[in-house]
């Protein structure tokens, strides 16, 4: 089956009851619209106060190595310092989120028809996989200075980095977790792609709610 025939069929065998099939351009436009809606919604949900801290699905916990130390700190009456670090980590992730919007949207606009075909053909997380593959590295670079600025005022963060560097050198923890700023940046990205995935699943389950005829045709069930 030719590419044009496939995307029209897959993007929908679609519109039961519609008199004409979607063109390749319309089908690709539907996929782009779906990606943009999911990305913008995810950034909006996470980039507000308590977007991370108040959502158990994405709340960033202390790195595993520090969790044991935190128990000791709390036992010695220093729990406030631990809570301060956890709050700072999650506030940093929330502050970084607006940086994601422009890159996610530009990635959508640059998406090829071949990418659209893969997304339509893929499973419930194909949109999420597309975004992660295209944006994780550049977003990580954008997030890091914002996260660093938000956590550098917390004294426990600097102490953690010193202890974690030693632990990493001894093979006791992953290198990516040995720097609190890199750890938070990575977890912020994990949370972003998780929420994009949830938005994608909602869209596929009920594209009618979007109010878009093209999205209904592309992602609707025949």
**36-93 pLDDT, tens digit each:** 888 999 999 999 999 999 999 999 998 876 777 777 767 777 667 778 888 999 999 9
Non-local (6+) Cβ contacts of 133 within 8 A are none
Calculate the alpha carbon distances from 87 to 9, 61, 134 in Å: 49, 9, 29
Q: What 3-state class would DSSP assign to 116?
A: helix
Number of domains in the chain: 1
CA 52 and chain centroid, separation: 12
The whole-angstrom separation of Cα 99 and Cα 91 is 14
- Is residue 21 within 8 Å of residue 5, measured between CB atoms? no
Residue 4 maps to a domain:
no
* Gyration radius (Cα) of the chain, Å: 21
**Residues 208-219, mean pLDDT to the nearest whole number:** 62
Pairwise CA distance, residues 130 & 48, whole Å? 24
Q: Please give the residue range of the domain that contains residue 147.
A: 22-217
Residue 9 falls inside a structural domain: no
99 touches 208 (CB < 8 A): no
Quick: pLDDT tens for 14-36: 333 333 455 667 777 878 887 88
In a domain, 2, yes or no: no
């Amino acid at each position: 089956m030719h590419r044009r025939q496939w995307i029209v069929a897959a993007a929908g065998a679609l519109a039961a009851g519609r008199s004409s099939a979607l063109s390749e351009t319309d089908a690709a436009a539907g996929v782009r619209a779906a990606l943009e809606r999911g990305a913008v919604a995810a950034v909006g949900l996470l980039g507000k106060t308590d977007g991370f801290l108040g959502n158990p699905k994405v709340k960033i916990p202390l790195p595993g190595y520090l969790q044991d130390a935190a128990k000791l700190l709390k036992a010695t009456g220093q729990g406030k310092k631990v809570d301060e670090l956890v709050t700072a980590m999650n506030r940093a992730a929330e502050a970084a989120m607006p940086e994601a919007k422009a890159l996610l949207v530009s990635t959508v606009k640059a998406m090829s028809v071949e990418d659209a075909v893969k997304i339509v053909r893929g499973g419930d997380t194909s949109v999420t996989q597309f975004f992660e593959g295209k944006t994780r590295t550049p977003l990580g670079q954008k997030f890091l200075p914002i996260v660093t600025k938000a956590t550098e005022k917390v004294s426990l963060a600097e102490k953690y980095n010193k202890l974690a560097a030693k632990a990493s050198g001894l093979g006791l923890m992953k290198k990516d977790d040995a720097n609190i700023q890199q750890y938070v940046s990575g977890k912020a990205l994990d949370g972003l792609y998780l929420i994009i995935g949830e938005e994608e699943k909602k869209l596929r389950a009920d594209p009618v709610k979007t109010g878009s005829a093209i999205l209904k045709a592309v992602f609707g069930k025949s």
